[in-house]
Amino acid sequence: MNYMGIDHHMQYSHITLLDEKGEKLKSGRVANLRSELENFLLGIEEVKAVVEAGRSSYTMVDVLDSMGIDVTIAHPKEVKAIAKAKIKTDKRDSKILAHLLRTDLIPEVYKRSRENRSYQRILRQRVFYVGSMTRVKNRIKALLSQQSEDIRGEISRVKNIFGREGLAVLKGLDLPEGEKKLINALLMTFRHMEERIKESSALVEELYEMLPFVRLIHTVPGFGKFLSVLVAVEVAEVNRFEGLGKFHSYAGVIPSTHSSGGRTYHGKIVKEGNRGLRWAAVEAVWPAIRADFDLRCFYERLKKRKGANSAKVATARRLLTIIYRMLKENRPYIPYKR
């Protein structure tokens, strides 16, 4: 078996190829094209490859998969031999990756399918649109708060300035010419974002009907269709987690820990792992504690002892625990009956 370490970049990669004894067979910069990779590996058989996880790493993974090469994706933060190297070059990085692969010391990252990555992009696009819409709304509110007393009074009489009645009031405001142009430009952006969010919502509906386990997650308090689809896509395969602790760690909802001299201190959550999964769990907390009495009691009890923020994170972790066990047992959420 031969081992290929790939230091991947957008346009090219530096590749080092080692044999079973760790002797270098080839090394060099290669354009990220299948034809170039085939030329580099000409005459070489039985190859395993490793590439660090990154924004564009899957382009290389897909090419190597199509060539029948077994590819491992390495966790960049955990490849300490690279992260702590005092002399860091593409050539050294690719060689160290190849050596770690040869000695079976690569900290692996879950390799997602093409379909799963496509679903991720759909959901993240919707999150982007919603975030952009929020920024536009905040900008409009900021401009309106700087207007005259009469205009502010007229706006205050409307419950929702972004509803049908509120938008009609905004259009009819007697604003200075420059301010009116700014508001109109923002309203055009607002309407554009509304359309994009509607389109993305339709795609989410399609995923809701198509993906397995989504309806199970939807039975959990606090998880609407979008959050249910998001969790299903980010989890992908629940059986890839060895246990509940691994699942919590993947979501980044475990406390940081410092242990020294027989004393252990727990701090804020580590905030590493899957940001989308953590965000979904935290977003679901408020609707969950309003809908479920036991979750509400759990939250209120922790809030008195540790404060609102710690209670919110702990409740998010409890929701993820529920989801993990449901998916493992393939059953819906069953609320406790008193």
The DSSP-derived string for 200-212 is: HHHHHHHHHHHST
User: pTM for this structure?
Assistant: 0.85
Residue 266 has pLDDT above 60, yes or no: no
- Which residues make Cβ contacts (< 8 Å) with residue 97, sequence separation at least 6? 5, 6, 7, 16, 50, 51, 52, 74, 79, 82, 106
For 155-208, how does the pLDDT look when each residue is reduced to its tens digit (9 = 90+)? 888 888 999 888 888 888 888 888 889 999 999 999 999 999 999 999 999 999
Contacts of 178 (CB under 8 A, 6+ apart): none
Residue 119 and residue 65 share a domain: no
| CATH code for position 70 | 3.30.420.140
Q: Quick one: what percent of the chain has pLDDT higher than 70?
A: 92
Q: How far apart are CA 332 and CA 320, in angstroms?
A: 14
Range of the domain at 18: 2-102
What would the two tokens of residue 1 be?
A: 């078996």
Same domain, 325 and 232: yes
> Looking at the structure, do residues 12 and 82 belong to the same domain, yes or no?
yes
Task: Identify whether residues 138 and 193 lie together within a single domain.
Answer: yes
Predicted confidence at residue 159, as pLDDT, reads: 87
Same domain (yes/no): 76, 127: no
Do 69 and 139 lie in one domain? The reply is no
Last residue of a domain, one of 210, 242, 260: 210
**How far is 170 from 317, CA to CA, in rounded Å?**
42
Residue 131 domain-assigned (yes or no): yes
Q: What is the pLDDT of residue 55?
A: 87
Residue where one domain finishes, among candidates 210, 244, 264: 210
Give the integer Cα–Cα distance in Å for 157 and 85: 63
Q: Look at residue 137 and tell me if it is in a domain.
A: yes
Mark whether 206 and 221 lie in a shared domain: no
Same domain, 157 and 222: no
Q: What does the pLDDT read at residue 336?
A: 67
Instruction: State the average pLDDT over residues 63-89.
Output: 81
- Closest by Cα among 120, 336, 326, 338 to 219: 326
Residue 217, pLDDT > 60, answer: yes
Q: Are both 242 and 324 inside the same structural domain? A: yes
Residues 163 and 231 in one domain: no
pLDDT of residue 191: 94
Give a yes or no: residue 194 inside a domain: yes
Residue 107 covered by a domain? no
For residues 217 and 242, the answer to whether their CB atoms sit within 8 Å is no
In a domain, 336, yes or no: no
Tell me how many domains the chain contains.
Answer: 3
Q: Give a yes or no: residue 337 inside a domain.
A: no
Does residue 92 register a pLDDT over 60? Answer: yes
Q: How confident is the model at residue 253 (pLDDT cuts 50, 70, 90)?
A: confident
Per-residue pLDDT, 81? 57
